[in-house]
Each structure stands twice: as structure tokens, then as C-alpha cells.
A = this chain, B = another copy of it.
Amino acid sequence: MAPAIEAAPLNELRAVLGNQIAVDAYRAGTQPFPDGTVLVKLAWKQTPSTEFAPATVPGAATTVQVMVKDQKKYAATGGWGFGRFIDGKPVDAAQHETCWTCHEARAKAQDYVFTRFAP
């Protein structure tokens, strides 16, 4: 749905994908996102392309991050449940609590979602 670059110290390339509910909401401009919306962000270290010097491509995978909308279950965090995985395993509670703090402070105008639809 949308790629992104994350600067130093992370130096990551990212791709945010959504399920059909998410894509439909983005296309229609529906805000807030409906229950059942799932957004997944894949992240890799930036690596120079070996075949084409001007390009930078995905290297080692770093994290997988998830947002799930359920207004009842996650009422305390804007209706969003947050997940962060490294090597397929969820990180600890302290790391998870940092998600909402930043999304609440910076992305409230877009239902706490940073990613815009890139058609």
C-alpha cells in the first residue's frame, strides 16, 4: 500500500500493507477506520543494490508491526491494538507501550495512523 524510508539510526526501508477493510476505508476516505481494520508494517535494513548502484533495497528483516482496530477491546488506546514482533516473537510490554504514546501525540488527526494511502 505504501513504502517509507526511516532515517538513521534505524536506516530502514518499510512497507505498510492493509487488509481489504483497511484498503476500502483508505479509498473511501472513511475516518475513523472501522473495526476489523488491520495494518501491517514490514521493515528491513537499507542495503545497496548489487545490480544497480542508484537503488537501495531491502536487507535483513528487522521488525513486523501491527495495528488492529477494535473499538471495544482497545478503547483505552483510540480503538487500536498495537503489536511489535522481532523474529516472529512479540516484544515486551514496555516496548508495546511506546507505540500508543507516539501515535496519540502525532497522528490524532488521521485516527492515529501515520500511513496515508499511496495509489
Contact = CB atoms under 8 A, between A and B. Distances in A.
A4 B4 CA distance: 9
B58 A2 contact: yes
Contact of A56 (B7, B61, B107, B114): B7
Interface in A7-26: 7, 10, 13-15
Interface residues of A, number: 30
B55 A6 contact: yes
Chain copies in complex: 2
Contacts of A46: 5
Nearest to A106: B51
B114 A51 contact: yes
A55 B114 contact: yes
17 contacts: A2-B57, A3-B4, A3-B13, A3-B15, A3-B58, A4-B49, A4-B56, A4-B57, A4-B58, A5-B5, A6-B55, A7-B54, A15-B15, A42-B118, A44-B118, A52-B114, A57-B115
Interface of A: 2-7, 10, 13-15, 42, 44, 46, 49, 51-52, 54-58, 61, 102, 106-107, 114-116, 118-119
